[in-house]
Amino acid sequence: MASMRDIKRRKESIQSTGQITKAMKLVSTVKLQKAKSRAENSLPYFNYMYQTVSSMLKKSSTLSHPYLNAGSSPKKAIIVITSNRGLAGGYNSNVIKLVTGSEIAKEDAVIYAVGRKGRDALARRGYTVAADYSEVMNEPMFGDAVDIGREVLKAFASGEIGEIYIAYTVFKNTVVHIPTFLKLLPVELGEQNQEDGADADLTLMNYEPAAEEALNHIIPKYINSLIYGALVQALASENGARMQAMDAATSNADEMISDLSLLYNRARQSSITQELTEIIAGANAIG
C-alpha cells in the first residue's frame, strides 16, 4: 500500500486539476451562451439566402456560369474550421479526420485554415496550407467571412483551384455537434427543400440586372454567408465540446478523489493501529 504522504500528494494534485477543469467548464458555458445566440441570429439570413439562391438556380438551370461548373484544375480548396485551443475532447480531431478521410488526395488539397489546431495537424500530415486565418476564430465577424470568401473565389476564378469545400462542425444543440464536410463550389443545392409552390413564383420573378449578372453578385454573397454560418456554428460547437469535455474531466477528478480519500483513510487507520500495537507491545515488555 502506498504511503499516506504519497496518497495525500496525489489527491491534492488531482484536486487542483479538478479546480482548473471546473473553471474552464464555467468559462466555456458562458462563451457557449454567447456563441449560441450568435449562431441562432445568423440563421434567418442564411436560410433566406439559401432559398433565394436555390430558386434562382432552379430557374436558370439552362445557364452555364463559371460558378456552376467545376474548374479544370485538379486542386481542391478546403476551408478547415477548428479551434485555436485544445482541451475540447474530440472536437478538433473529428474535423481533421473528415479532411484526411475524404477522397481528396493529399497532393490535390489546398488548405485554408481557420484555427491553429487544424492548421498544425494538417501541416504535420503533409498538407499544403495556403492561408491561415486562425485569428478569426477568437471573434468571427461577417467581414472575416467576406475576406476568406474573396480569397477562395479569387483562386477559383483564376483557375488555381477547381472546387471549394468546407470542413466544420454543425451546432445542432448544446450536446450534439456534427462534423460536416460541405461542397461550396460549384454550387450544388439539395432538392429536398423545394416546395411545389415555388415553381409558380419563379416564372414571375424578374432580375435586375439580368439573371446571369445577378448570379455573379449573389453567389459570392451566398458563399460568404455559408462561411460566416460555418464560423459561428463552429465557435458554438467548440465551446459546447469543451464544456462537455471539462464536465467529464471534473466528474472523473471527483471520482478519483473519493477513491483516493478512501485509500488515504485506510492507510491512516492502519498506521494508527500499527502504532498502537507497537506502544502496547513496548508497555508489555517493560511491565
Partner 1 sequence: MAESGRYFKLQVIAPDRVFLEEEADMVELTTTEGEIGVLKDHIPLTAIVAPGILRIKKDGQQKEAALHEGFLEILPDKVVILAESCEWPEEIDINRANEAKIRAERRLKGADAEINEARAELALRKSLVRLALAEKQHK
Q: Where are the alpha helices (DSSP H) in 102-183?
A: 116-124, 142-157
For partner 1, the closer CB: 61 or 72: 61
DSSP one-letter string for 60-99: TTT---GGGS--S-S-EEEEEE--SS--STTHHHHHHHHH
Cβ burial 249-272 (10 Å sphere, 16+ → b, else e): bbeebeebbeebeebbeebeeeee
For partner 1, the closer CB: 7 or 137: 137
Task: Provide, rounded to whole angstroms, the least separation between the CB of residue 78 and partner 1.
Answer: 23
Task: Provide, rounded to whole angstroms, the least separation between the CB of residue 229 and partner 1.
Answer: 8
| Closest alpha carbon to 223 in 188, 176, 274 | 188
Task: Report residue 191 as a C-alpha cell.
Answer: 432538392
CA distance 120 to 141: 23
For partner 1, the closer CB: 47 or 277: 47
Task: Provide, rounded to whole angstroms, the least separation between the CB of residue 83 and partner 1.
Answer: 21
SS3 11: helix
For partner 1, the closer CB: 61 or 284: 61
Phi, psi of 132 (to 5 degrees): -130, 120
CA distance 14 to 9: 9
For partner 1, the closer CB: 209 or 282: 209
Task: Provide, rounded to whole angstroms, the least separation between the CB of residue 214 and partner 1.
Answer: 6
Name the site residues for partner 1 (rule: CB under 8 A): 38, 41-42, 44-46, 48-49, 52, 56, 142, 145-146, 201, 204-209, 214, 217-218, 221, 224-225, 228
Task: Provide, rounded to whole angstroms, the least separation between the CB of residue 62 and partner 1.
Answer: 18
For partner 1, the closer CB: 85 or 221: 221
Task: Provide, rounded to whole angstroms, the least separation between the CB of residue 211 and partner 1.
Answer: 9
